[in-house]
Each structure stands twice: as C-alpha cells, then as structure tokens.
C-alpha cells in the first residue's frame, strides 16, 4: 500500500502527514506505532528497531486514533483515570488539570454518552496530554472540533514540540502550528 517512504523525525519536530482519502495516512501511523507490521523496511526509535522492545517503545508514545477511546457509561474524568492509570500513576488533580487545559472542565463529571463528538475529542486529547510521553501519534486530532478546538490542538502540538517532544499527525486541513518546527509529508494515492 505504501512504498518508497523514508523519513526521520527529531525531538522538537511536528510531522504533518497529508494526502487524499485512501492514500494510507492511517496505515502509515499504525505502522509507525507497531500495530501493523511493515512488509519490508525498518522503523527505529532512538536507533533501535521498535519491535525489539515494543513495550518500552509503547510506553514512550501516545496514540489517538479516529475513534476517541472512551467508555460511554463512564464520566470523562473516570475514563481518563482508568485509561491513563494503566500506563502510569495519576491522581484526580492531574486529571482535572488536563481536562481544564482542553476546555472540558464543564463536562468532566458527565457520562461520555451525553457528550458531543467534539467534546469527546477534547476528552481524548486530555488523555494524550496526561500520558506525559515524548511521542504523540495522532490520527485526525482535530476531527469534530470547532475553530476554537482546532486552535487548541495547534497550541497543544506546539507546546509538545517546544518541550522537545515529537508529534506525528495525519490531517486533512493543516493544523495552526508555527512553521519553524513543522515538516510535511504528502502521500499520494497512486
């Protein structure tokens, strides 16, 4: 599906993957995080193949897929406490702070089933923040979000790369991130 791809991303960089529907953006991201195995070639993290110690690699990355990985019957705060809690120890204050940062403080105690798709996306983004890891891999992070929410995603990505982290995101519309740290990878469907 994808061939002839070769790239490296450094700390402090944001790699924006674009391309028409079906070009393989999601496949590329899922291969990068090790969920899908590449037929040939290799993917390394800090110079080591990612599957050599997949658990160590996975503990360094946060993945946000198309769907926001939330349980409809749990509240936003509960979702984060359980979802991120299996990765690392977090307390209620950290959860509340993260929800605050994505503008979700107003609905943190409501069951996720009552939230709109955009509100869910904000909660899922709070999860990425809470993971506290250097590598973010995001598939359409701004989907369902309003203008304010898209600006928020831009700010979060910027903060992550300024702090020396790496963000790889597949997007339809470019995120509002300063050009300095941004690199673009365009996939074509041919």
Partner 1 sequence: MSGAWQAARLVIERDLRLAFRNRAQLLHPLLFFAIVTTLFPLALSPEPSRLRDVAPGVLWVAALLASLLAIEFLFRDDAQDGTLEQYALSGQSLTWLLFAKTLSHWLLTGLPLALMSPVAAYGLGVAVEAVPGIIASITLGTIALSLLGAVTAGLTLGIRRGGAMLSLLTLPLAVPLLIFGAQATARAIAGEPVAGPMYLLAAFVVLGLTLAPLAAAAAVRISLE
**Paired sense of beta strands 166-170 and 44-45, if any:** unpaired
With a CB cutoff of 8 Å and minimum separation 6, the contacts of 147 are none
Binding residues with partner 1: total (CB under 8 A): 30
Cα–Cα distance for residue pair 74/82, rounded to 1 Å? 10
**Paired sense of beta strands 44-45 and 61-64, if any:** unpaired
> Minimal distance in Å, beta carbon 100 to partner 1?
22
Q: Is 42 in the site for partner 1 (CB under 8 A)?
A: no
Q: How far is CA 40 from CA 6, 57, 91, 146, in A?
A: 12, 20, 42, 39
Q: Residue 185 has which token pair?
A: 């990878």
Exactly one of 43, 87, 151, 176 binds partner 1 (CB under 8 A); that residue is 87
Instruction: Evaluate whether 62 touches 169 at the Cβ level (below 8 Å).
Output: no
Q: Is 91 in the site for partner 1 (CB under 8 A)?
A: no
Cα–Cα distance for residue pair 94/12, rounded to 1 Å? 24
> Minimal distance in Å, beta carbon 31 to partner 1?
10
Nearer to partner 1, 61 or 152 (CB): 61
Q: Is 35 in the site for partner 1 (CB under 8 A)?
A: yes
Exactly one of 67, 91, 109, 146 binds partner 1 (CB under 8 A); that residue is 67
Q: Is 65 in the site for partner 1 (CB under 8 A)?
A: yes
Exactly one of 71, 159, 172, 184 binds partner 1 (CB under 8 A); that residue is 71
Q: Is 46 in the site for partner 1 (CB under 8 A)?
A: no
User: Burial level of 26, CB count in 10 A (0-12/13-18/19+)?
Assistant: middle
Exactly one of 86, 93, 147, 173 binds partner 1 (CB under 8 A); that residue is 86
> Minimal distance in Å, beta carbon 37 to partner 1?
7
Chain residues in the site for partner 1 (CB under 8 A): 33-37, 55-56, 58-61, 63, 65, 67-74, 78, 81-83, 85-89
């Amino acid at each position: 599906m994808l061939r002839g791809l070769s790239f490296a991303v450094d700390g402090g960089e944001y790699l924006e993957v674009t391309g028409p529907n079906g070009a393989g953006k999601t496949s590329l991201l899922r291969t990068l995080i090790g969920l899908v195995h590449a037929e040939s070639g290799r993917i390394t993290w800090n110079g080591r193949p990612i599957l050599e110690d997949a658990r160590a690699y996975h503990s360094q990355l946060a993945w946000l897929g198309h769907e926001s990985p939330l349980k409809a019957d749990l509240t936003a705060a509960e979702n984060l406490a359980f979802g991120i809690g299996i990765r690392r120890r977090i307390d209620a204050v950290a959860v509340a702070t993260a929800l605050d940062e994505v503008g979700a403080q107003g609905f943190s105690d409501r069951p996720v089933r009552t939230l709109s798709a955009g509100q869910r996306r904000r909660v899922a983004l709070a999860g990425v923040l809470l993971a506290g890891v250097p590598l973010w891999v995001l598939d359409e992070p701004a989907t369902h979000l309003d203008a304010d929410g898209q600006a928020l995603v831009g700010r979060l990505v910027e903060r992550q790369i300024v702090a020396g982290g790496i963000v790889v995101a597949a997007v339809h519309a470019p995120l509002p991130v300063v050009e300095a740290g941004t690199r673009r990878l365009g996939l074509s469907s041919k």
